[in-house]
Amino acid sequence: MSTTGPDSSTIGFTTISRSVASLAVGVVHTLERAVVGDGRVRTARGNAWEAVCADRARADQRAELDRLVAELAAARAAARDRHELRQPVN
């Protein structure tokens, strides 16, 4: 009985899949460079910066909404106080 592993000269399904995936990534990368240009190719750093900018924009929107809600609450409290002042005391 032989305990040797698979013959190293054969190509397995996973090797072919990895080769095809690697080739596809290379084609997409080359195509992206040709279409959008070298200066506009997406990178990890660019993606991270876009995420930071999006987080900041969402934080600014939340802060603006909080400010508006606080203004509305203050206006409602002021209106309620004015209404209570006009009510006759029994």
pLDDT in tens, the chain (90 residues): 455 555 555 667 677 788 888 888 888 878 877 777 766 777 888 889 999 999 999 999 999 999 999 999 999 999 998 888 777 666
Inside any domain, residue 74 = yes
Domain that holds residue 25: 12-41
Instruction: Indicate whether 19 and 56 sit together in one domain.
Output: no
- Cα atoms in the 13 Å half-sphere on the side-chain side of 56: 6
pLDDT value at residue 46: 86
Asked whether residue 6 is domain-assigned, the answer is: no
Residue 2 domain-assigned?
A: no
Residue 77 and residue 87 share a domain: yes
Read off the pTM.
0.47
Q: Has residue 67 been placed in a domain? A: yes
- Identify whether residues 71 and 84 lie together within a single domain: yes
**Beta strand ranges found along the chain (DSSP E):** none
